[in-house]
Amino acid sequence: MEDSSLSFSFFSDFGLLLYLEELNNDELNKFKLLLKETVEPGHCPIPWTAVKKAKREELANLMNQYYPGEQAWNVTLKIFGKMNLKDLCVRAKAEIKWAAQTMKPENAKAMEVEAQRDQEAVMGDGTGYRMKIKEKFCIVWDKNSLLRKPADFHHGVTQEERKLLEHLFDVDVKTDKQPRTVVLQGAAGVGKTTLMRKAMLDWAKGSLYQQRFAHVFYLNGREISQMKESTFAQLISKDWPITEIPIERILSQPSSLLFIIDSFDELNFAFEEPEFALCDDWTLVHPVSFLMSSLLRKVMLPESSLLVTTRLTASKRLKPLLKSQRYVKLLGMSEDARREYIYQFFEDKSWAMRALSSIRNNEMLFRMCQIPLVCWIVCTCLQQQMEKGSNITMICQTTTSLFTCYISNLFSRVDGCSSSLPNEAQLRSLCRLAANGVWTMTHVLYKDNLRKHELTKIDISTFLDMNILQKDTEYENCYVFTHLHIQEYFAAMFYMLKVDWEARDHSVQSFESLKLLLESKSYQYPHLTQMKCFLFGLLNEDTVKQLEETFNYKISPEIKWELLQWMETLGNSDSAPSQLGLLDLFHYLYETQDEAFVTQAMQYFPKVVINICEEIHLLVSSFCLKHSQCLRTMKLSITGVFKKMFSSSPTDVYHITHCWQELCTVLHRNEHLKELELCHSNLNELAMKIFHQELINPKCKLQKLLLTFVSFPDNYQAVFSFLPHNQNLMHLDLKGSCIGDNGVKSLCEALKHPECKLQNLRLESCDLTAVCCLNISKALIKSQSLVFLNLSTNNLLDDGVKLLCEALGHPKCCLERMSLESCGLTEAACEDLSVALISNERLTHLCLADNVLGDGGIKLISDALKHPQCTVQSLVLRSCHFTSVSSEYLATSLLHNKSLTHLDLGSNWLQDDGARRLCDVFRQTSCSLQDLELMGCVLTSACCLDLASAILNNPNLQSLDLGNNNIQDEGVQILCNALRHPNCSIQRLGLEYCGLTSLSCEDLSSSLLSNQRLIKMNLTQNNVGSKGIRRLCEVLRSPECKLQVLGLHKESFDKEAQKLLEAVEVSNPHLVIKPFNSDHNNEDASWWRYF
């Protein structure tokens, strides 16, 4: 029966080919077309691209592959039937029947089992692909890597990274969905590629993602960038064994597929294709860039999962391509791992401890050592220097000094022969190549790049020998700098070696422009930051000398003056550098370690605003600020730094303390420093003591100190004991700092001291209660200097104010201005306040805003105002919950009071009736009122005749704010009639949110032309439209119009109107147009006082 088995097998294997051979070319083409249309349940169709170009033998193999065994014949016979090839059908059926009959049942069963095995072999179980992956990725680290020891740090993946891999695709707790796209971000050399190779290896071994992904494919950015055109199936099938099932069948189940796209930053594609034009067919040939764009943007295989690795600097380019991605950051070696690495690197453990101490002293350098290769470079460099007996502390002082040392060692290693060293032209070409690459984020160098920058094969060989460049062992014609920091260092050298700074050639490329480099913001161009650090570091005289000895030629000092000139321009510009910008600048200046240069640079920045949230920020800030001799105003925020001290080593505690001490010395070193704000900061007891010592230094000339939203150490009793010792300090603001009643006790003890000269004290939102008012009251009586006190937004209540009013009535109380806004006061407090208003002839300003005083409370206050001894000039009663009834009380008091010039009645239910009663007084020439605020008083156009009468008849009234009232066009028309009158003295008019349209602009325009006194007007949040703007602009251009401030939100109008407003500002430089709303954060603030 063996013969019969063989005959059937022969027929199965070759019979299909014999029948296809009988078809002529036309019939074969028709057979292919019908095969394309054939769909068999449970089977994937054969890709048309494969069928179309297949010869007869290839077509037979494809059919046996996709339709194993008898199924291929079933398909063939169906197609023969459709082609009306009856003879071939009859013959084929007969032969199949004969072959089957010549077999015994047991042999038929055996053949069936064998056929099933053959089918499984043909179809593949994935073993072949996994074997191929294991072979390819078993060596994770390149054998030519610079990392030679300690080896155990560079093979395998740490336990933390293993956990990170396992949980990348976990269900999101917020959305309850598994992410389809995960982006793994990390710095150059941090181990992203190593981790991805390890992931491939673990998947192939069956220990990772087994339940999640049936197949995982690895796509390397460097390799893909060199490819031209392909189908997507071909793109991913490089490692796909022929023994496996067709790759197309794998792609038909995309939900079980993971594509690892490693080194996205090395894909030199623009990704500019519109989404509608992208491809979802993996069988079509396209440019590889097109295929990658389709995959990333989820057009190709949208159900598949993606794991993309990229450098942080390329994230901005990647983000727009992705949908619903999860971001994970790979940080590299932990602090403990770095310490262990450094310790294990050195055989001599005393050297290891010296190296660790020196590296740890520089936070930036220690942070760089998160990257294994950089850690190796640092250790190697220090080992070489210790062998020479050099001072490694100085070498570790900055990143530039260490990399200079390392690169100098590389140059000196080349046989000690100057002929084998790169010449000046070669070095310039290398530096130019490096700078261009850093600017464009091009870190993989192909032969075209090298040729473009005039680097020959011999030049490349020289730099390869020096370990400056490295050849990629996997991908042909690829070179890279041994690390990104090496590239950044030579990029910075490009600007040092440039000799023609005088020539301002506008045709130069972006990377050649020093001006563009310096003006680049780190948050927009983070990839340029380290290059700028190196550039400033290369200004150091010792570094320059070392480079000149290494390269054997002089480096021009001209760039130093270019950088100083840029900083002078930056300091003198209208827009001062942001907090981030200043911190970046401090980093750059720190790298120079040139005190004379830093002192010269810092003179251009009389005002400094910085947010210190890391130890490195404290280090660079303290270095720069202690050399700032022209500093006048400084604003600091310090968060997290001092908290870290609780869990830090003694060495770290010493560094933080020392840096803080250095920073605080600016208080006595700089006699020009007059204002310091320390805000949103957490100070421990040690930090507070250091700060306190500087405040009591006799050389401290500080006049204004703001400690806003500061967290003081618990039970620190001496917080305010500096006040009697600092004779210059006049202003103290503690807003938002929860000093509580105990803190107030300490403060009041200092205020009572005869040597305390404090005049202004702000205690807004300081968590005070009525308990503290007794201490404050005593301090008010004792203090001979305090004239201003703000207690707003504290829960003082009526009882607390009663105690304060006792002090206000005391003949020794010197207080002139006081704010009790939002202190929980009621009508009961007004009785004590009214007494204080009468008895204290010095009190000129009182703010009672946002307290529920009611009509009863206003009556008591009004009665006090009528008293001849009441000298208050400014009274704020905004949001005091009174009605039109109170207008009668106020009107009567205003008839008698000759001192009150500013009255704020905003956000009270006055209505038109109340306004009319008040206007009866306002219109009288004997009324002394100058500023009147009626914002949000439920007024309409009905009261505008009375208001107009007041404007006309009272020559004292200069400011009127009617914002947030339903005045409308009709009311404005009435007011404008009064504004045009020659007797009108109004200088400031507030009409914010008054329901105005373009009709009002006609009346306002005519008023602006005729009224030469009106200089400020607020029209914010009115629908005046483009038509109204056009009319206003006609008048604003006129020399007759004297307006200086116009409140408008330019962006709320169309582009034509915006251009008109901008043109007006250009033609009239005295006019300011900007949006603003009434803001009463200051107790006497009005929108017109912002300028």
Q: Write down the domain spans for the chain.
A: 2-123, 128-329, 343-397, 825-909, 917-1091
pLDDT at 42 (0 to 100): 64
| DSSP-assigned states of every residue in 210-244 | TTT-SEEEEEEHHHHTT--EE-HHHHH-TT--TTS
For CA atoms 408, 414, 416, 419, give the dihedral sign: negative
The CATH code that applies to domain 128-329 is 3.40.50.300
User: Nearest Cα to 616, choosing from 379, 335, 350, 367?
Assistant: 367
Query: Length of the chain, please?
Result: 1091
Whether 128-329 and 825-909 share one fold: the answer is no
pLDDT at 414 (0 to 100): 54
User: Nearest Cα to 1031, choosing from 1011, 1009, 989, 1002?
Assistant: 1002
Alpha carbons 181 and 323: distance in angstroms, whole number = 8
The letter for the amino acid at 954 is N
For CA atoms 998, 1003, 1006, 1007, give the dihedral sign: negative
H or E, element range at 905: none
Question: Partners of 819 in the beta sheet?
Answer: 790, 847
Strand ordering across the sheet containing 257-262? 215-220, 257-262, 305-311, 181-186, 325-329
Environment class of residue 407 by beta-carbon count within 10 Å: exposed (0-12), middle (13-18) or buried (19+)? buried
CB atoms within 10 A of CB 644: 13
pLDDT at 102 (0 to 100): 54
The second-level CATH assignment, the architecture, of 2-123 is Orthogonal Bundle (1.10)
Please, how many CA atoms are within 13 Å of residue 931, restricted to the half-sphere of its CB?
17
* Cα-to-chain-centroid distance, residue 962: 41
Alpha carbons 856 and 597: distance in angstroms, whole number = 67
Whether the CB-CB separation of 950 and 921 falls below 8 Å is answered with no
| DSSP-assigned states of every residue in 125-149 | -SHHHHHHHHHHHS--S-TT-S--S
Give the 3-state secondary structure of residue 917: helix
CB atoms within 10 A of CB 1012: 11
Taking each continuous run of H as one helix and of E as one strand, the counts in the chain are 47, 27
Report the DSSP pairing between strands 931-933 and 633-638: unpaired
Which residues, 6 or more positions from 1026, have their beta carbon under 8 angstroms from its beta carbon?
1053, 1054, 1056, 1057
Whether the CB-CB separation of 1025 and 998 falls below 8 Å is answered with yes
| DSSP-assigned states of every residue in 472-541 | -SSSTTEEEESSHHHHHHHHHHHHHH---TT---TTS-GGG-HHHHHH--TTT-GGGHHHHHHHHHTTSH
Which residues, 6 or more positions from 376, have their beta carbon under 8 angstroms from its beta carbon?
146, 147, 148, 345
* Cα-to-chain-centroid distance, residue 716: 36
- Both structure tokens of 711: 């967290």
- Both structure tokens of 657: 């303390």
CB atoms within 10 A of CB 636: 20
Alpha carbons 66 and 36: distance in angstroms, whole number = 13
pLDDT at 158 (0 to 100): 63
pLDDT at 154 (0 to 100): 46
Hey, which CATH number is domain 825-909, 3.50.50.60, 3.80.10.10, 3.20.20.70, 3.40.50.300? 3.80.10.10
Alpha helices per DSSP H over 703-796: 740-751, 773-782
Instruction: Give the predicted TM-score (pTM) of the model.
Output: 0.79
Alpha carbons 56 and 23: distance in angstroms, whole number = 9
CB atoms within 10 A of CB 392: 21
CB atoms within 10 A of CB 920: 17
- Both structure tokens of 282: 């993996």
Backbone phi and psi for residue 262, each to the nearest 5 degrees, phi listed first: -90, 135
CB atoms within 10 A of CB 555: 18
Please, how many CA atoms are within 13 Å of residue 983, restricted to the half-sphere of its CB?
12
Topology given in CATH for the domain delimited by 917-1091? 3.80.10
For CA atoms 741, 747, 751, 754, give the dihedral sign: positive
Per the listing, tokens 């623009």 go with 270
User: Nearest Cα to 966, choosing from 934, 996, 988, 1002?
Assistant: 996
Backbone phi and psi for residue 953, each to the nearest 5 degrees, phi listed first: -95, -15
Alpha carbons 346 and 149: distance in angstroms, whole number = 10
Alpha carbons 537 and 590: distance in angstroms, whole number = 8
Between CA 101 and CA 109, with CA 105 as vertex, the angle to 5 degrees is: 110
Please, how many CA atoms are within 13 Å of residue 1087, restricted to the half-sphere of its CB?
27
Span between the terminal Cα atoms of the chain, in Å = 108
Alpha carbons 161 and 332: distance in angstroms, whole number = 9
User: Nearest Cα to 534, choosing from 468, 576, 487, 567?
Assistant: 487
Mean pLDDT, 10 residues at a time, over the chain (1091 residues)?
40 68 85 82 76 85 80 85 81 69 50 43 65 78 43 54 88 87 93 91 90 93 90 90 84 92 91 88 92 94 95 89 90 89 92 93 92 93 93 93 94 58 86 93 86 87 90 82 95 86 56 86 89 96 92 86 91 73 93 96 94 93 94 93 78 89 94 95 91 94 96 79 94 92 89 95 95 96 96 97 96 96 98 96 96 98 95 97 97 93 97 97 93 97 97 94 97 97 94 96 95 94 95 94 94 92 92 74 42 26
Backbone phi and psi for residue 287, each to the nearest 5 degrees, phi listed first: -60, 145
